[in-house]
Amino acid sequence: MTQFTQLGGAEKLAVELAESLNKRGVQTDILSMYSEEFPGVTEAKKYLLLKGIPTVHFLGLNLHPSVLSIFKAIYKLNKLIRSQKYDVIETSMIPPAVIASWAVRGTQTRHVAGLHQVFNKIRDTSKRDKLWLLSAKCNRRIRYYAITKYVAKSWSLYSNSLPQYIRKIYNAISDDYFDAVSDRNNIHKELGLPTDSQLAIYVGRLAAYKGIDTLLDALVPILKQQNLILLYVGRPDLDVKGTKEILQKMQTRITNENLENKVKFLSYRNDIPRLMASADVLVHPSLMEGFGLTLVEAMATGLPIVASNVEGIPEVLAGTNSLMVSVNDPNALRDMVLRTLNCTHHELKHTIDKGRCRAESFRTNDRAAAMFQLFEDVVANRF
């Protein structure tokens, strides 16, 4: 159950999982919360069917649905579950998890809820969070998988769930990242950059909690003094409080300090493996992060990393030479970026080799196998 037309990290993983399970002979359909009438949905549905997804269902919700429409969606999903006799319904985000947790009641279908974020009793107090907590507590048959040990622990503390009902299953990335090769000269030409410039790259949603302003604060002195270009790759997430204001302040500073040629906002790109393989350092200064898919993608392409030492990130980067700093510390972030850009050839090779070795722990086939085993154990009441 996923919103497959807007592929964030969790949604993309859900689609890839469905494709992998169907290849293994397990009939796995996809269900979207929303309406088939949304722009781009028809094309996305055709793509999924061509990729081997047997059926794509829709609950018909609008964005920001009313309470009444959510009740209707629960009823509709319950009817679908009964008619199709699904063994398991998997969710990766809070809104579909709430709907599924009620829709499976009175059926033999088991709900497996993916925990893709860090939960915090002080921070996560919205109506949506409280509804999800209530829904989970009212369905004792729900089982969980968490994308890191940190996320599993946070959910256990947040919900008072028993740890034995949470299994750790790492996220995975496409083989495209492992196969990526540098296309540095063409990237420079396409973006109109000096051919000898170094590239620092940020990949992800442009949101307040991602530390995108801290990154700019850190690199402005270097951008002024050195032949370095900063690339922001990703769409603005204006639904996140404070993002619009932060982006406006960043743009004002870039203009006032004449850095338009030094800072590029590339929005969404479908060639991220190629961009990463052509860059010099990935900077990921997030204020909170349960996993960080972009970190694994960077390691697989051979791109050195400077990241925040927060939540699930140390677990993902374990055993590598990736550099980590405290959150909201532009001076430390600047020092580590400079250290990475100025490392020797031997140091760089060692960092790349260790990163690629770590990335092997996050292969799509391994995740599909772990999820398949999880579903089997849930259906057989072994978990």
Q: What is the pTM of this model?
A: 0.91
Give 179-213 pLDDT, tens digit per residue: 999 999 999 999 999 999 999 999 999 999 999 99
* Pairwise CA distance, residues 10 & 254, whole Å: 32
Provide the sign of the torsion angle of the four alpha carbons 67, 70, 72, 78, taken in this order: negative
| pLDDT for position 9 | 63
* pLDDT tier at 57, thresholds 50, 70, 90: very high
Q: What are the residue ranges of helices labelled H in 226-292?
A: 243-256, 272-278
Percent of the chain with pLDDT over 70: 97
| CA–CA dist 149, 168 (Å, integer) | 6
Predicted local confidence at residue 16, as pLDDT: 84
CA distance 102 to 95: 12
> Rounded to an integer, what distance in angstroms lies between the CA atom of residue 175 and that of residue 340?
26
What string of DSSP letters covers 323-353?
A: EEE-TT-HHHHHHHHHHHHT--HHHHHHHHH
Signed CA dihedral, 127, 130, 132, 135: sign only: negative
pLDDT score recorded for residue 15: 85
Task: Output 256 or 16, whichever has higher pLDDT.
Answer: 256
- Considering only CA atoms, give the Rg of the chain: 22
Instruction: Give the list of residues 6+ apart from residue 286 with CB closer than 8 angstroms, or none.
Output: 204, 209, 210, 211, 292, 307, 308, 310, 313, 327
For residue 235, the number of C-alpha atoms closer than 13 Å in the C-beta half-sphere is 10
- The vertex-35 CA angle with 33 and 38, nearest 5°, equals 125
Length of the chain: 383
Domains and CATH numbers, the chain: 9-172+364-379 (3.40.50.2000), 175-361 (3.40.50.2000)
Whole-angstrom distance, CA of residue 89 vs CA of residue 316: 27
DSSP 304-319: -EEEE--TTHHHHTTT
Residue 98 CA to residue 133 CA, distance in Å, equals 9
Structure tokens at 174: 């496409």
* Alpha helix ranges (H) inside the chain: 9-23, 41-50, 67-84, 94-103, 127-137, 149-159, 175-178, 184-191, 212-225, 243-256, 272-278, 293-301, 313-316, 330-341, 345-359, 364-379
- The pLDDT, as a whole number, for residue 41 is 83
Span 71-90, mean pLDDT? 96
Q: What is the mean pLDDT of residues 96-119?
A: 95
Question: What does the pLDDT read at residue 8?
Answer: 58
CA–CA separation, 284 and 294 (whole Å): 8
Q: Which residues face 323 on adjacent strands? A: 306
- Mean pLDDT of the region 371-378: 95
**pLDDT tens column, 258-298:** 999 999 999 999 999 999 999 999 999 999 999 999 999 99
Q: Sorting pLDDT into bands at 50, 70 and 90, what band is 136?
A: very high
pLDDT value of residue 119: 94
Structure tokens at 362: 């996050």
Residues of 70-97 as b/e, b for ≥16 C-beta within 10 angstroms? beebbebbbebbeeeebebbbbbbbbbb
- What's the CA gap between 372 and 376, in Å, rounded? 6
pLDDT higher than 90, residue 20: no
Rounded to whole angstroms, how far apart are CA atoms 127 and 298?
36
Report the range of poorest mean pLDDT among 6-15, 82-91, 109-118, 325-334.
6-15
- What is the per-residue pLDDT across 296-321, written as a single tens digit (0 to 9) for each? 999 999 999 999 999 999 999 999 99
Say how far apart CA 30 and CA 47 lie, in whole Å. Answer: 12
